[in-house]
Amino acid sequence: MPTIAIDTFFACSLMVILILSAMVITSKITYSWIYATEESETVRRYRAVAEHIILATGNPIDWGGGREQPTAFGLAKHGQEGTYNLDMDKVSRLNNENLYALTYGQVFESLNMPGVSLRIEISPIFETKVDLARTVASTNEATYEFKVKTVKDECHYVPAWLQYYIVADGSIINSGVKCSDGVISFNVTIPYNVSGPALLVVLSKSVYDARIVSFNVYSFQHADSEPKPKGSFMRLSPLNFTLYACTTNLELSNLQAYALTFNHAIKLEQKASSALNTSYTIPRLYESSPIVLVVTGRTSTGPFIEWTVYPQIPVCIGVDYTSYTCLTNFYVYSYPVIIGSCVYQCKIWLGETAK
């Protein structure tokens, strides 16, 4: 297919998604092993459950901002019930990286639907993929060539605006804006007097609509300092516009925290601090962008970097239906949803165990 045809096709697809997100949406249903006599009743029943999850607030109505288990489950933002607008904190508490995350058992219990299994997936509509293509070392600095792809369904390139940041040695040392037709390469140079490891943050937004966003965070080696696995030093949990940083290493010092969006790079103010926990105020930025939160500091062996994103997307919680062979049937309901002024995709899987 010619490139112009693919671009036109994708533009039309995005327009359809945005129209659907502004009105009552008819869910797409995928299912298998359904008996014809049961189909109508079962489809209606599970559709009602799926729509309740994204259209109702649950109880308490603001349970996302607290730490308790809700008595009734729903992801809608208070005051936005019935509009496919989800609460940032409720979504974040479905991510197991969050210190206050719900378990699947707690979600199942608060849903109050005995005998029904569940899976919830929330993700960007398109992906931002990052590869380190080449490293060129010289006497005083290193130049890194990155290749960034914005793609949907692994095959359709998405024209997008890109905002990138380089974070290393406690500071934002580089940033820039690029326009991509779906694939772009760019170089970043870091001097050796900046200690590694380093972090590349890429925020993407569709050229067709700024509410359709994606992101990627890529850790890489610099100056012989390799990045450690995420969570090696701190566990980061954003909630109610506060970043909670729980220390897993007592020898941390010189902590700095940043909020990075498409239009802002802000150093965060510390709210409270103790031997094991530090909290920061997350600014309320009225723009269509996820907020990438980065905490840097030093240990006895050198610098470290930890990161998370607010809301904490992607989310995946519940039963793995691809390997759950004891189901007689299952259904997938797909909806475009709004979270923090951005459009994402929400899939809700519902099934019933065989009797």
Q: Domain for residue 321, yes or no?
A: yes
Residue type present at position 240: N
Q: Domain for residue 163, yes or no?
A: no
Angstrom distance (rounded) from CA 164 to CA 178: 8
Which two three-digit tokens encode residue 334?
Answer: 């797909």
Residue type present at position 176: G
Q: Domain for residue 328, yes or no?
A: yes
What mean pLDDT do residues 320-344 have?
82
- CA dist list (Å): 66 to 89, 92, 99, 244: 9, 12, 12, 13
Q: Residue 85 is part of which domain span?
A: 3-122+315-339
Q: Domain for residue 79, yes or no?
A: yes
What mean pLDDT do residues 174-193 have?
94
The total domain count for the chain is 1
Which two three-digit tokens encode residue 183?
Answer: 């694939």
Which two three-digit tokens encode residue 116?
Answer: 């029904």
Angstrom distance (rounded) from CA 159 to CA 165: 20
Smallest CA-to-CA distance from 242 within 105, 123, 120, 64 is with 64
The answer to whether 163 touches 186, Cβ cutoff 8 Å, is no
In the chain, pLDDT over 70 holds for what percent of residues?
86
Q: Domain for residue 200, yes or no?
A: no
What are 34-68's pLDDT values in tens digits? 433 445 687 888 899 999 999 999 999 999 998 89
User: Helices in 61-119 by DSSP H: which ranges?
Assistant: 88-92, 104-111
Q: Domain for residue 98, yes or no?
A: yes
pLDDT at 355: 52
Selected residue with higher pLDDT from 67 and 13: 67
What mean pLDDT do residues 1-27 have?
44
Q: Domain for residue 76, yes or no?
A: yes
pLDDT at 24: 38
Strand, helix or coil for residue 150 = strand
What are 251-284's pLDDT values in tens digits? 788 899 999 999 999 999 999 888 788 999 999 9
Q: Domain for residue 144, yes or no?
A: no
pLDDT at 33: 38
Asked whether the predicted pLDDT for residue 16 surpasses 70, the reply is no
Residue type present at position 284: R
What are 131-165's pLDDT values in tens digits? 999 999 999 999 999 999 999 998 899 999 999 99
**CB atoms inside a 10 Å sphere around CB 117:** 19
